[in-house]
Amino acid sequence: MDLFLQIAQELSLNKRQVETVISLFNEGATVPFIARYRKEKTGGLDEEQLRNIEERFDYLTLLESRKVTVLKTIEEQGKLTEELKGKILSALKLREVEDLYLPFKPKRKTRGSVAKQKGLQPLADFILNNPDFKGDFQKKLNEFVDEKKGVSTPEEALKGASDIIDENISDSADARQIVREILSEKALLVSQKSKNADKPTNAKNVYEIYYDFKAPVRKLKPHQILAINRGEREGFLQISFEFNKEDLIGKVYRNYFGKRPTVFENILNDCARDALERLIFPSIERETRKTLTEKAERHAIDVSARNLRQLLLQPPIKGKMLMGIDPGFVSGSKVAVIDFTGKYLEGVTVYPHPPRNKKEEAKEKIHELIKKYSVDLIAIGNGTASRETVFLITELIKEKKLNCKYLVVNEAGASVYSASDVAREEFPDLEASMRGNISIARRALDPLSELVKIDPKSIGVGLYQHDVNQKLLRKKLDDVVISCVNYVGVDLNTASVSLLSYVSGLNKTLAKSIVAYREKNGAFRDRKELENVPGIGAKTFEQAAGFLKIPGGENPLDNTFIHPESYAPTQKLLKRCGVSTNEIGANGNAVKRFVNDYGLEKLAAELEIGIPTLEDIVENILKPGRDPREELPPPILRDDVLKIEDLQKGMILKGTVRNVVDFGAFVDIGVKQDGLIHISRMGEKFVKHPLEILSVGDVVSVEIIETDVERGRIALTLLNKE
């Protein structure tokens, strides 16, 4: 198989693009580097396309390796025909190869293998090859009765021969494919209440909608599959497939034995039935469930990845003094103040809520910190006691007429960070319980810089994260973090080890080396200085340099995404425009006008660079130091609060999207519970998935449709996105 051509056809690319990408990967290039700095070579492929090429290449390489092993094994048995070889070589899935290999695969002890040991293979062959037999079949069976071989009666002989035929049918790739297609295309998946479902538990109501559930397999939605799997795993549900069994047995029979009449039709029908019920169906049922689950998991992981990307790319809140509060009841609420650089200034624990109820004392301590440090914004974690803390803060703001606002922050993973090595290194003198509030404050200051310190799956965006393939989830979410960090770029002189370790070409060891060098030698003044860091050679510098920015350095180009390899043509361009390096940004429009007037293609040719590179150079000259997150809508800052009891049907509010799932989006509208915009209420047109309309962090206007105070549920309809 020509792997490059196959991938190109699958992904609608040309073969040259695929060959180039794989070659770059083999040279050690990263996805962010190729996507940004090798556009001319790849034809402008984006990160998603590059990762798809990488994934398919890895899979097809594994497939080709397996084909070699299978062909060699069958050939060693002396059973490899040209027809079989052709089928194996043309297979595009590992499953197809394994189906074809099944008849030749060494088996553990089975009923069929035992029957062969008893000398019953000739009887099986006789039944298969003599459809017009007119003799005494009972006499034929008697020929195979042999006490020494363990065949005591004619009935045992027939049973053994049937077992051999059963396994032959089961080993048929065509028969298995028939069953596979029926289950995936025509069968119904049936979910029913199990015997254990009536046992007292708080979870059983979650699965009630699946106590009598039936749906075509091909129409099952990912969240339904994952919910059913979890319900079955926890003992609440019993799952089965519903299909026309007799019709399927007939198809398997005709496929394997053909339509030619035979005097052994009843025997062979029984063989087809037994092969289906005992051997094929259980195997294909497990395979189908696995396929459904893998598809659902991939979907859930994709949703989590898209949500995580939006969360990481939330705009930073710059130039403000921040207070972070990690709310709690028994253990108290932890309060921390940080400055606009993220530096920890002071912290305290207060106990405004039950059981201590020291509300006024808490207000006084918080007020003292607000006055002492001129706090502009209070970030409150959204976990336990969150809304009670919001009420406390809004009361304080009104009573003291404070000129500050609050923001509710997703605190998922804050406790993970508090106990981590990263947190201990940052705050060795603080207890773990006092670190989470600092993380909460910093998440408002710069979500990306803070959240990279936490295992991505602990951030908690998405659905059924604990039910999906954890290895695949981790890789996908890590890819998202890598993509976001390199999309935004990193300040080489302030970035933490955690942030630097996600930069193209770097890892945790190199990130630590950079920070150690910085601490010993002071701030980097030039990107070239990176080459002095132990462990950073020419290849690492090539991959990383363009993503590491130096604001206020000796060379203004070091504060752009322009790669050092393109500095020479950039200087030539600036010289032709009459603009000095120190004037980029301020006189960027002059450069853009010159390029437009002169002609993009002509100028690129004269500068000996590609058009995409020239376009990127001009963009970065226009906006050096640009943070792409700043173009997104800022979070909603509040100074008041509502209770769910205050909500009325028809009320219009602004909110922030906190999570997007298959059936809708959860929105923080400033009350204790997030409201749900169901997918059916996202617009007049049909919406296939909520992510088509909304993303985590979007600021939206919504209308209250219904509230259920007792169950804490709020139904919303989307009016518009800011």
DSSP type of residue 379: E
Q: Which pLDDT band holds residue 201 (cuts at 50, 70, 90)?
A: low
What is the reported pLDDT for 203?
Answer: 55
Measure CA 577 to chain center: 46
161 with 75, same domain: the answer is no
pLDDT average, residue stretch 144-158: 95
Q: Are 700 and 654 in contact (CB under 8 A)?
A: yes
What value does the mean pLDDT of the chain take? 94
Q: Per-residue pLDDT tens for 242-294?
A: 999 999 999 999 999 998 899 999 999 999 999 999 999 999 999 999 999 99
Q: Which pLDDT band holds residue 428 (cuts at 50, 70, 90)?
A: very high
Q: Is the residue at 453 inside a domain?
A: no
CA distances from 512 to 422, 482, 517, 662, 668 (A): 12, 17, 8, 40, 38
Q: Is the residue at 459 inside a domain?
A: no
Q: Are 595 and 617 in contact (CB under 8 A)?
A: no
The C-alpha atoms of residue 408 and residue 657 are separated, in whole angstroms, by 12
Q: Per-residue pLDDT tens for 538-554?
A: 999 999 999 999 999 99
pLDDT average, residue stretch 188-195: 94
Q: Are 696 and 305 in contact (CB under 8 A)?
A: no
CA distances from 329 to 36, 38, 296, 414 (A): 48, 54, 38, 17
Measure CA 629 to chain center: 21
131 with 37, same domain: the answer is no
- Both tokens of residue 185? 């295309």
Which one of 62, 92, 122 terminates a domain?
A: 92
Lowest mean pLDDT among 185-199, 218-232, 285-299, 517-531: 185-199
CATH of the domain at 276: 1.10.3500.10
196 with 340, same domain: the answer is no
Q: Which of 316, 317, 613 is nearest to 488 (CA)?
A: 316
DSSP type of residue 716: E
pLDDT at 462 over 80: no
Q: Is the residue at 78 inside a domain?
A: yes
What is the reported pLDDT for 370?
Answer: 97
Q: Per-residue pLDDT tens for 616-671?
A: 999 999 999 989 998 888 888 888 877 888 889 999 998 999 899 989 999 988 88
What is the reported pLDDT for 499?
Answer: 96
What is the reported pLDDT for 516?
Answer: 97
Q: Is the residue at 77 inside a domain?
A: yes
CATH of the domain at 715: 2.40.50.140
Percent of the chain with pLDDT over 90: 84
Tell whether the torsion through CA atoms of 414, 419, 421 and 426 is positive or negative: positive
- Both tokens of residue 403? 């000129």
What is the number of domains present in the chain? Answer: 5
284 with 228, same domain: the answer is yes
339 with 239, same domain: the answer is no
What is the reported pLDDT for 413?
Answer: 87
Other C-beta atoms closer than 10 Å to the C-beta of 189 total 23
What is the reported pLDDT for 202?
Answer: 54
| Interacting residues of 679 by C-beta distance below 8 A, sequence separation 6+ | 662, 663, 664, 687, 689, 690
| Interacting residues of 654 by C-beta distance below 8 A, sequence separation 6+ | 636, 669, 699, 700, 701, 702, 722
418 with 533, same domain: the answer is no
347 with 283, same domain: the answer is no
287 with 141, same domain: the answer is yes
What is the reported pLDDT for 200?
Answer: 62
Pairing verdict, β 212-216 and 237-242: unpaired
Which one of 631, 665, 687 terminates a domain?
A: 631
661 with 545, same domain: the answer is no
717 with 683, same domain: the answer is yes
Q: Which of 49, 680, 46, 662 is nearest to 295 (CA)?
A: 662
pLDDT at 443 over 90: yes
Q: Per-residue pLDDT tens for 300-344?
A: 999 999 999 999 999 999 889 999 999 999 999 999 999 999 999
Rounded to 5°, angle at Cα 110 from 104 and 116: 75
Q: Is the residue at 308 inside a domain?
A: no
What is the reported pLDDT for 412?
Answer: 86
Mind spelling out the 3-state secondary structure of 284-335? HHHHHHHHHHHHHHHHHHHHHHHHHHHHHCCCCCCCCCEEEEECCCCCCEEE
Q: Is the residue at 312 inside a domain?
A: no
What is the reported pLDDT for 480?
Answer: 96
Check: pTM over 0.95? Answer yes or no: no
CATH of the domain at 66: 1.10.10.650
Q: Which of 428, 427, 455, 456 is nearest to 441 (CA)?
A: 427
Q: Is the residue at 457 inside a domain?
A: no
Q: Are 441 and 324 in contact (CB under 8 A)?
A: yes
Pairing verdict, β 675-678 and 237-242: unpaired
- Which amino acid is located at 443 in the chain? R
- Domain housing 440: 322-445
419 with 335, same domain: the answer is yes
Q: Are 51 and 31 in contact (CB under 8 A)?
A: yes
User: H helices within 77-153, ranges in order?
Assistant: 82-90, 94-101, 111-117, 121-129, 137-142
What is the reported pLDDT for 721?
Answer: 85
pLDDT at 196 over 80: no
Identify the bridge partners of residue 326 per DSSP, sorted by sequence position. 334
What is the reported pLDDT for 189?
Answer: 97
Q: Is the residue at 380 inside a domain?
A: yes
The C-alpha atoms of residue 298 and residue 93 are separated, in whole angstroms, by 18
CATH of the domain at 420: 3.30.420.140
Instruction: Give the alpha-carbon dihedral of 252, 255, 260, 261, to 10 degrees.
Output: 0
Which one of 631, 663, 691 terminates a domain?
A: 631
Pairing verdict, β 490-491 and 548-549: parallel
| Interacting residues of 446 by C-beta distance below 8 A, sequence separation 6+ | 316, 317, 342
568 with 615, same domain: the answer is yes
